[in-house]
Amino acid sequence: MHEFRVQVGPAAFRIGSHWRAPIAQMRALYADYPTPEFTDYTVRLEATSFARRFIRPSVAINGDYMLPDAAPLPLDQALLAAEMGMNLQMALGWRRQLILHASAVERDGKALIMTGESGSGKSTLSAMLGRTGWRFMGDEFALIDPVTGEAVPYPRLISLKNEAIAAMQRDAPDAVFGPLMRGTPKGDIRHLVPPAEAIAAMHERAKPALLLFPRFGFEPAIRDVPPSEVFMRLTQASTNYVALGEAGFAALTRFVQSVPARAIDYQSGDEAKALVEQLWAELA
């Protein structure tokens, strides 16, 4: 097995691979990330059979936690396989903080959390804001500490999909991108390395100050979201709410009671940024 270890915020991973190429790609893209001594989780990129190691190589996503029916990916999508494997370990294993499927950025020590379905644009928005006066904290998981209520950064590589790829290349021509992976099960995917200062600050927490439910592709609008609805939507957006038991309930209740929430609709990145700045000035 070729091995690569990486620290992303509070979590440390060991990635093993039958092939050298994915490890080399990860080493390049994660160059600014610390290398941990101890690792929390193991992800294994393994050939689905001995022959599939060499002929039309096919990558099974294995590790400490596995999904029995996870479909294998071709070798040129191994970076996506690693990303999915790492996400799965967090989703099924992490118990230190409440996990919200959300992106997060920080300003003045306060965090803006954005959650929504796949395609809502939360990932792209966090990447864009992370280049214009905000610190990028993560595009996939916001970790809410059950004791302090703070958001813990998880600044993994940003996973850009479909139209977001070209948008970010226009926005950030100088940034480091991974290889373009076409025709994956999630469409076209390209990873973007977060700004160096976001990686350097991966242990600096922030108090959540505003929660947004962004929705891409609709006339610009802002709507209130009542706390009861916020609570229900966040239980669905959390991968470990039930497993944390009473601690999870207390953490989520406090979050809902202390953080104002709004839904925003937008059709372009500039519209979204303007709405965010407006709400941030009013509420945070």
Contact string 85-114 vs another protein (x = CB under 8 A): --------xxxx------------------
Between residues 37 and 174, which has the closer beta carbon with respect to another protein?
37
Q: With respect to another protein, which residue has the nearer C-beta, 12 or 250?
A: 12
Shortest separation between residue 51's beta carbon and another protein, angstroms:
16
- In the list 4, 8, 9, 14, the residue contacting another protein (rule: CB under 8 A) is 14
Burial grade of 140 (CB within 10 A; 0-12, 13-18, 19 or more) = buried
Q: Is the dihedral of CA 44, 45, 51, 52 positive or negative?
A: positive
> How far apart (Å, rounded) are the C-alpha atoms in residues 105 and 110?
8
Phi, psi of 263, rounded to the nearest 5 degrees:
-100, 135
Residue of the chain from 4, 30, 44, 156 that contacts another protein (CB under 8 A):
44
Secondary structure E strands in the chain: 2-8, 11-17, 41-47, 58-63, 73-74, 98-107, 110-115, 135-138, 141-144, 151-152, 158-161, 181-184, 187-192, 207-216, 221-224, 261-266
Give the nearest distance from C-beta 96 to another protein in angstroms: 6
Among 28, 55, 166, 242, binds another protein (CB under 8 A): 242
- If one asks whether residue 64 binds another protein (CB under 8 A), the answer comes out as yes
Residue 172 binds another protein (CB under 8 A): no
CB of 64 or CB of 150, closer to another protein: 64
Nearest to 139 by CA among 155, 128, 151: 155
Q: Which residues contact another protein by CB under 8 A?
A: 1, 12, 14, 16, 36-40, 42, 44, 63-65, 93-96, 242-245, 247
